[in-house]
Amino acid sequence: MLSPFLVWAAWAFVAVAVLVPHPLSLSTVRFVAPLLVMHGGWLIITEPRGSDITDAERWGSVGGFFVMLTVAIATYAATYGVAHAQAAAYGHERRHLLRPPISVILPLVVVWLAVATSAAVAVHATSLVVAAIATAIFAALTAFALRRAMVLARRWLVFVPAGIAVHDPLMLRDTFMVRSQFVRALHVAPHGTEAFDTTGTTWGVAIELVLSHPHDVSLSEFGARIGRTLDRVHVTALLVAPSHPGRALANDAAGEHRTV
């Protein structure tokens, strides 16, 4: 039977990812934990009423499901993500995760649904051949999705003693770095700002990084396509969207960057 193997393997991956903070762990937890929640919910719904499980055990299972659901939702919180991003930081770096562009969320959701479907077939199929094929598809799709989700977990606004960096392999071809003396301001982006948008269009509050003079920004192919511009632009201000903008601004104030 492949069912116990797949479920326990998924539990093991999530357990290790929770215990070992890292950007890869963040991607694993956020991608796999909802699969376990879905599996647990399905078992509760399909549990035969005539089984030997008592009402107390059944309500205990329901309570456990809601605990799983709450924990899975909590992994998408900004505070949880920052802990994993910071775990891989060097020296005095302070990393702040950037919110993903809306345009990449839908493809990831579609892939996740395909992974969930193949996992369901692998776990519940009565035919060993069908289960084996579904397991192979599940493994391939999961590896494909995690590689791409990992890119989102490596998008950071970084504060270092020498200045500020924007590390964004999705939107930028090269990490954008600027020394503290060339930072004129870092603040919540005002309405109607003309700063260059490196957020890829996302939700929430954006932060405007204002520079003392023009700097080059090298865009990835995706970033240039989203921004409808060339792969290299000269900017005097740019927008970033950290998942926790208040904490990022507080971090900048502690680093004595000028905020006007």
pLDDT digits (tens, 9 = 90+) for 115-160: 999 988 888 888 888 888 998 999 899 999 888 888 999 999 999 9
Mean pLDDT of 187-207: 91
Q: What is the reported pTM?
A: 0.82
Calculate what percentage of the chain has a pLDDT beyond 90.
42
Claim to verify: residue 122 and residue 197 sit in the same structural domain? no
| DSSP, residue by residue, 9-71 | HHHHHHHHHHHS-SHHHHHHHHHHHHHHHHHHHHHHHH--TTSS--HHHHHHHHHHHHHHHHH
99-103, 170-174, 249-253: least confidently modelled range: 249-253
| Closest to 155 measured CA to CA, from 253, 84, 203, 56 | 84
Q: Two tokens at 103?
A: 């345009």
Terminal C-alpha separation, the chain: 63
Claim to verify: residue 79 and residue 174 sit in the same structural domain? no
Residue 213 domain-assigned (yes or no): yes
| Closest to 150 measured CA to CA, from 245, 38, 29, 34 | 29
Residues 27-62 have pLDDT tens digits of: 989 999 998 898 888 877 877 665 566 767 677 778
Q: Which of 153, 187, 220 is the last residue of a domain?
A: 153
Report phi then psi at 228, rounded to 5. Answer: 55, 50
Claim to verify: residue 23 and residue 142 sit in the same structural domain? yes
The parent domain of residue 222 ranges over 156-254
Residue 75 domain-assigned (yes or no): yes
Q: Give the residues across from 208 on adjacent strands.
A: 187, 239
Claim to verify: residue 215 and residue 133 sit in the same structural domain? no
Averaged confidence pLDDT in the chain: 87
Instruction: Please report the beta strands in 174-241, taking only residues with DSSP state E, as ranges in sequence order.
Output: 176-179, 183-188, 196-197, 207-218, 232-240
Claim to verify: residue 22 and residue 94 sit in the same structural domain? yes
Q: In this structure, are residues 87 and 21 in contact, taking their beta carbons and an 8 Å threshold?
A: yes
Q: Which of 153, 177, 197 is the last residue of a domain?
A: 153
